Every structure is written in structure tokens, then in C-alpha cells.
Amino acid sequence: MGKRKENSTNSLNEKYIIECDLTYAVCKIGGRWKLLILCKLEHGKLRFSELRDRITGITERMLTLQLRELEKEGLVTRTVHAEVPPRVDYEMTEIAKELIPIWKQLSQWGNKHKILIQEENLVEN
């Protein structure tokens, strides 16, 4: 595979992600499912089926992909138990646990913002 042009959009995006800590962090936990998966693991280990059952709307394939990414990024550990049938547990890493107060604050902000926008829309209509 050839080297990307230095002024290509992808090259500039990669540079920005590396240079901006906030963008880097959001890329690691962003998207529709990652934060939700981490929130479900906040209180301890869960099996794949438990995670799947607690997250409305996620497909098994998407859950697998997201868990793999979270594991690759060091935010989730995957433990395979030598049993029949095999049992696999997922758990937040210590660095992921540092996100708990951040997502709680973000959730509070989201709630406040949602209410303000709803109130503004009621006034306009």
C-alpha cells in the first residue's frame, strides 16, 4: 500500500487526532455504542449475552466489533474461561474506569441541554 499524500483529508485528520487530545479521546469512545457498552460494564464483568441483552438495538455482529475495538484500545479486557461451553467475560480496564465521572457529567450536560432545547422549541411553536 502506498504512502498517503500529506495534504489528503485522511492524512490531515490523522494528524489532527494525534495532536488534539480531546479529538483523540472522542475517537476512542465515540460512536453509537462504545460509551453505552462501557456504561453497562461500570458495575463489573458481564458475559457477551448479558451485554447484548442490556443494550437495546445492538446486533451481535456490532457488539463483537465494538468490543474488539474497545479491547484493542485498552478499555476492555476479555477473559476466556476454559469451560464447556466456553465462557467469555468482558470487564472495564482501570483506565476506562477513569471515564466514569466524565460520562456522568456528560450525561448531566446532555439532559440539561435536551431540556433547554425542548423548552426553546415549545416557545417558538
**Could you give all domains of the chain from N- to C-terminal order, each with its CATH number?**
1-30 (no CATH), 32-124 (1.10.10.10)
Question: What pLDDT sits at residue 21?
Answer: 84
pLDDT of residue 7 exceeding 70, the answer is no
Question: What pLDDT sits at residue 31?
Answer: 87
pLDDT band (50, 70, 90) for residue 13: low
Question: What pLDDT sits at residue 56?
Answer: 95
Give the 3-state secondary structure percentages of the chain, helix then strand then coil, rounded to 5.
Answer: 60, 10, 30
- For residues 37-59, give the mean pLDDT: 96
Q: pTM for the complete prediction?
A: 0.78
Nearest to 54 by CA among 69, 65, 41, 71: 41
- For residues 10-35, give the mean pLDDT: 78
pLDDT of residue 11 exceeding 60, the answer is no
Each residue of 54-105: pLDDT tens digit? 999 999 999 999 999 999 999 999 999 988 888 899 999 999 999 999 999 9
d(CA 78, CA 112): 35
Question: What pLDDT sits at residue 12?
Answer: 56
CB atoms within 10 A of CB 52: 16
